[in-house]
């Protein structure tokens, strides 16, 4: 399954400059998702992080993983109409074991690889990894819950 940014915006409530998933390239419902973000020097975050030495903030990488995990969770909950999706939101409950291995810079294609550790009802435990050119940039365990707005 692939999704473009227009389809992603029907699932996630996030918008520019906080929509951090450009495309989903692969997904297996209830199991895993692969998505990416193209990191551009024109993003507002680079005005202050860091002038003359731009590094994509780790917290933004984690948020991108969380958004990809949110897409996986929503699309794994069975058939839902656009209206039903619009009335729900994914809340992240915890981020554990976060590690930052390599810096992410403007021009990089940041690939999120998220897999399900465990799922019970509306609660999801996910393993998130972020890669640039198949090199691990960051990893974390994420816990989320799908709730009504």
Question: Would strands 109-120 and 123-132 be described as parallel, antiparallel, or unpaired?
Answer: antiparallel
The gap between the terminal CA atoms of the chain, to the nearest Å, is 27
Instruction: Tell me if 146 sits within 8 A of 111, measured CB to CB.
Output: no
The DSSP call for residue 130 is: E
* Distance between CA atoms of residues 19 and 79, nearest Å: 24
Active site (annotated) includes residue 53: no
Give the active site residue among 14, 23, 49, 88: 49
Q: Label residue 83 exposed, middle or buried (CB < 10 Å: 0-12, 13-18, 19+).
A: exposed
Q: Which residues are catalytic?
A: 49
């Amino acid at each position: 399954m692939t999704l473009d940014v227009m389809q992603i915006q029907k699932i996630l409530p996030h918008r520019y400059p906080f929509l951090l998933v450009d495309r989903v390239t692969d997904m297996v419902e209830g199991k895993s998702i692969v998505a990416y973000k193209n990191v551009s020097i024109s993003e507002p975050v680079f005005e202050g992080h860091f002038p003359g030495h731009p590094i994509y903030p780790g917290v933004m990488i984690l948020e991108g993983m969380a958004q990809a995990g949110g897409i996986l969770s929503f699309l794994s909950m069975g058939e839902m109409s656009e209206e039903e999706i619009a009335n729900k939101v994914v809340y992240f409950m915890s981020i554990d074991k976060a590690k930052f291995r390599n810096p992410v810079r403007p021009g990089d294609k940041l690939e999120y690889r998220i897999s399900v550790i465990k799922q019970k009802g509306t609660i999801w435990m996910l393993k998130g990894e972020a890669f640039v050119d198949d090199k691990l940039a960051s990893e974390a365990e994420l816990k989320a819950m799908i709730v009504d707005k």
